[in-house]
Structure 1
């Protein structure tokens, strides 16, 4: 048994996850009545990730900031620029795709028991109140904006602490990181359960009626992941971006697709950044921050579904209004984590730009819930994988600049 475990651990995590997916599909196709014992593995895996993620973010950010050396530069500013640029471009691409491939809806009900935000002010207000949330309450409710705010403040306050305290923080951070590694090693079993449950309980027959809408949504997200984001990375790194892009999609995107939670994928992205050799002072802040504000997938969802409602109602939209929608969707997407229900509940906010009533908008939200099996999975995969992608891009761009400066300095000295 020990030899089997050793050989199993020697296989790359991505290959082990693929094996888990295949087993889950086979079990769903052959013994669907076994759902009670197979699907529990998926629930346990996601539950473990969600349980460890808030504590991981709190201690790893406190430790990183408390030990931050004066003069040691991080790349947070560059990463935030990349996050914002990607999200705005995503909203713009979704608007263009919606005009090129207009979709009309058979409006559905099913979202009447949820309440959308009344405006962008409410979204921003929710985010601000999340920042000043009670730290214990923030951890219990996985409020990552609040956790991040308290972790940053405590880290700054502890920068002048004695070395014993900093050593304790380092030991706690290392211990929690080790717990995370143990949980991530269970990913193949967890993914097996998630794939099994998804096929057995949801299937894909209900999605056939909305195939064209899904095609536009997923097409936009694939275009961003495989074309737009690589172009952004190339502009910063000036080299082939695809090895890095595919690494992030393989190591982070696959797990995020099945967990459907950016928060649950924080430990996975942390592990990926460590594997890529990135600066812990940077990624320990940028990854949890990205899980709350880097929302290109959400910008796509908001724009496409809003314009689907516009086309259904026969509303004429000029280019200026469409551009405003792309910006509004980007800003709203960044606040999606602060609103119960995520990106779908921000659709009525965007619909109000075109004078669409809340009753109709909530029917569009109902359509979003119907296609949520694939829409939310693809959205999370894009959002979460790009957190690691842009963190790595900023780090490698910084190293490239330093390398160029060093070469230039050597040439000057030779002359």
Structure 2
């Protein structure tokens, strides 16, 4: 009897309002009944697992369908989106470097971490890993959620299927609609997933472990907020030539909030695809741009790499020259674009950036350990910025194209 009123309430109430209620409920549960949180956290684990399970198939089928039905000669608008991705990531690195030079942070470095992780040793290694991902086995790409490989095969198969019979393409379109229906059902369960994620996050993290890094976190989160609320709106305004904030706040609210708690750009791909559809964007555009952005559009990662690298330099008393700071901006933005779209992916690129200042790997890995300590906040904010910007720049490029078409 209780289930029916709850279902009616869920249908009447917007998803954003339900998520807001889940946020508050999760915080209260973590502090008032911490013993219950391990059981509630299971809801969050199921939600993220469902997103990760459906996302690779969703991307493969949607991109294949969009390209197979694409009319030759019709513009997809991917190039301006890639340009916005590159500009946004580089600007974020500049913000991170500038803030770190104005408000330098220092770290307490002791013993090297015990984690068995192997960071790349050069920028060329990062780029080589990306190239390997492009030619990955399609089955392995789906299993490992390698979206660069998935996109490559989806584009290739979509182009080949453009010459298929109408009935074959109709089956593909029906399959895309079926997968979309499934993901819509998963997204409707977002409030329960957010409830579990919030409760477990606050119960595990608390505040004691983070207090010693308050200054570092303030610089990191401050930079990300500045990029989200100032830099990105300026970039979007340059593209659409009108007030960017309605679009900015929509993307932050409907994409950033979920990404903050999933802490994975890859897991947030279905959320972004659904948002792009609600914004009325072209499927052949956002079907490629959103998954690609989850892999290469990493403004938050560029900030993390820049700030933590300069924190290590300041801790060791290394003088940062202007040319070195500029080089760090470029390296951080390039490396960030090669970071994996999973929780903590950007931290393994810090040793590479530290090598620019002659900082040894033993010290750099201690900085990585600090990153994992503050990761409960840093990685969440980073992912929220990364993922919401994917939709923001995709929508901005589409709106700019519409404006140019109308002017012509």
TM-score (norm 2): 0.97
Report the CA distance between 1:394 and its aligned residue.
0.4
Report the CA distance between 1:111 and its aligned residue.
5.1
Give 2:223's aligned residue: 220
Structure 1 Cα separation of the partners of residues 12 and 123 of structure 2: 49
Q: Deviations over 1:317-351 (max 9, x none)?
A: 11111001001000000001189951100000000
Structure 1 Cα separation of the partners of residues 205 and 178 of structure 2: 38
- SS of 1:23's equivalent? helix
Give 1:410's aligned residue: none
Structure 1 Cα separation of the partners of residues 75 and 402 of structure 2: 12
**After the TM superposition, which residues 28-67 of structure 1 pair with which residues of structure 2 at under 5 Å, given as runs?**
28-67=30-69
Q: Deviations over 1:190-247 (max 9, x none)?
A: 0000000111122222000000000000000000000000000111111110000000
Structure 2 Cα separation of the partners of residues 196 and 257 of structure 1: 13
Structure 1 Cα separation of the partners of residues 375 and 347 of structure 2: 9
Structure 2 Cα separation of the partners of residues 237 and 382 of structure 1: 20
Identify the match of residue 284 of structure 2 among 281, 287, 291: 281
Distance 1:339 1:245, change over 3 A: closer
In structure 2, stretches of 5+ residues that fail to align are none
Structure 1 Cα separation of the partners of residues 228 and 265 of structure 2: 16
Report the CA distance between 1:23 and its aligned residue.
1.1
Identify the match of residue 77 of structure 1 among 73, 76, 79: 79
**After the TM superposition, which residues 50-129 of structure 1 pair with which residues of structure 2 at under 5 Å, given as runs?**
50-108=52-110, 109-110=112-113, 112-129=115-132
Contact kept in structure 1, 2:92 and 2:227, CA below 8 Å: yes
Structure 2 Cα separation of the partners of residues 268 and 339 of structure 1: 15
Contact kept in structure 2, 1:56 and 1:176, CA below 8 Å: yes
Give 2:178's aligned residue: 175
**After the TM superposition, which residues 193-232 of structure 1 pair with which residues of structure 2 at under 5 Å, given as runs?**
193-232=196-235
- SS of 2:359's equivalent? coil
Report the CA distance between 1:4 and its aligned residue.
3.3
Contact kept in structure 2, 1:130 and 1:338, CA below 8 Å: no
RMSD of aligned Cα (Å): 1.2
Structure 2 Cα separation of the partners of residues 15 and 303 of structure 1: 36
Query: How many residue pairs get matched?
Result: 405
Q: Deviations over 1:80-103 (max 9, x none)?
A: 000000000000111100000001
Q: Deviations over 1:257-298 (max 9, x none)?
A: 000000110000001001101111100000000000000000
Structure 2 Cα separation of the partners of residues 316 and 64 of structure 1: 52
- SS of 1:95's equivalent? helix
Contact kept in structure 2, 1:41 and 1:189, CA below 8 Å: yes
Give 1:5's aligned residue: 7
Identify the match of residue 358 of structure 1 among 361, 365, 373: 361
Contact kept in structure 1, 2:265 and 2:341, CA below 8 Å: no
Give 1:301's aligned residue: 304
- SS of 2:72's equivalent? coil
